Structures are given as structure tokens and as C-alpha cells.
């Protein structure tokens, strides 16, 4: 029995079964890695604001020449942005940094809200 190439979400959207992650991708390397992954056939890119490389991820998407509509792009909301008044701005920042008009999936990075207790804690967590 062949392995599935996609899974169907409850919205009917098709998410590729295998994605390319961008966590801990080194500055100056992630753009090329994303470009190469897309040219090699990956169609799911996983990124997050906390990785601090969304602009490079977006540049890699652009440089790949693969139409945005052919890519399933997952972004993540960081723990300090779970307050309802912070979510839209966080999403807008990710969209701007990635240079795209939409994400296919926007997840809470961890389903735990982190209340900023101090500047030191803030610097550690964000």
C-alpha cells in the first residue's frame, strides 16, 4: 500500500504529507535551502516568527520560481502573542516578512500562553 502524499484537513484543504522545516536554519543559508527544497519537489514549507528567518524563507520561495499557489505554507504564532489583540498584528508581521498575501495554515506554536513577567524573561522567550 503506497504512503499518502497529502492529507485532507477538516476544511478540505490538502496538506502535503512531507514538509520542509526551517527551524535552526542558519542566517544566510535558509534562503538557498528553501529555494533548493522547492526546486527538488517539496511543496510544504514550515516556518515560524520565533525562528527569526521568515524574510529569508520568503526570499527562497520567490527565488524558487514555484508559484505561491503551488506551495502549502505553514506559519506559527509565538507564545507571547496569544492575546486576542496581538494575533492579527503577529500574522500581519509574518505575512510581511515572508512577502506573501496568505498562509495556508497558522498554528499556535505551543498551546501555552506565556505572560511576560519581566524584561529578562521576555528576552529569553522571544
Supply the residues annotated as catalytic: 51
Question: Are 77 and 113 contacting, i.e. CB atoms less than 8 angstroms apart?
Answer: no
Q: First CA to last CA across the chain, in angstroms?
A: 44
Strand bridging mode 14-16 / 6-8: antiparallel
Question: Are 97 and 55 contacting, i.e. CB atoms less than 8 angstroms apart?
Answer: yes
Rounded to whole angstroms, how far apart are CA atoms 124 and 95? 24
Amino acid at each position: 500500500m503506497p504512503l499518502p502524499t497529502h492529507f485532507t484537513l477538516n476544511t478540505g484543504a490538502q496538506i502535503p504529507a512531507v514538509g520542509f522545516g526551517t527551524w535552526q536554519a542558519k542566517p544566510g543559508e535558509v534562503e538557498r535551502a528553501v529555494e533548493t527544497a522547492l526546486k527538488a519537489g517539496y511543496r510544504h514549507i514550515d516556518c515560524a516568527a520565533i525562528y527569526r528567518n521568515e524574510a529569508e524563507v520568503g526570499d527562497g520561495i520567490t527565488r524558487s520560481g514555484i508559484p505561491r499557489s503551488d506551495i502549502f505554507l505553514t506559519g506559527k504564532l509565538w507564545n507571547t502573542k496569544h492575546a486576542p489583540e496581538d494575533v492579527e498584528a503577529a500574522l500581519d508581521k509574518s505575512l510581511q516578512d515572508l512577502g506573501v498575501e496568505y498562509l495556508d495554515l497558522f498554528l499556535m506554536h505551543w498551546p501555552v500562553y506565556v505572560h511576560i513577567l519581566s524584561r529578562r524573561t521576555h528576552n529569553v522567550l522571544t
